[in-house]
Amino acid sequence: MPLLEAMNYRIPILASDIPAHREASGRAALYCDPNNAADITHKLVLLLKDNNLRASLTKDGTERLSEFSWKSVADAVMDNIRGAVSGKQQG
């Protein structure tokens, strides 16, 4: 997952404001409207100029990444498989 890889390398993230990116990144990304060039440009300039924003996103990314260890992801997948087999949907 490119967003998690960026977090791993401590790169501040500008991401499209779509559900999959919000689910992966949480508050560890600055979001822009992927269909609005002016918004993308504005957010990119903001990210480039604001040292505090970059530092905050980097810190949040490091924290967010800790939620995606191999074990935690494997446990979540197994919980979902068990739920599917038993007929109970997991959250």
Tracing tokens 């609005």 back to the chain, one arrives at 36
Classify domain 2-86 at the CATH topology level. Answer: Rossmann fold (3.40.50)
Instruction: Tell me the pLDDT tens digit for each residue of 63-77.
Output: 999 888 888 878 888
- pTM flag (> 0.85): no
Q: How confident is the model at residue 27 (pLDDT cuts 50, 70, 90)?
A: very high
Mean pLDDT of 26-36: 97
- What pLDDT sits at residue 47? 97
CA dist 47 and 43 (Å) reads: 6
10: left (phi over 0), alpha (psi -120 to 50) or beta: left
Instruction: Tell me the pLDDT tens digit for each residue of 7-24.
Output: 999 999 999 999 999 999
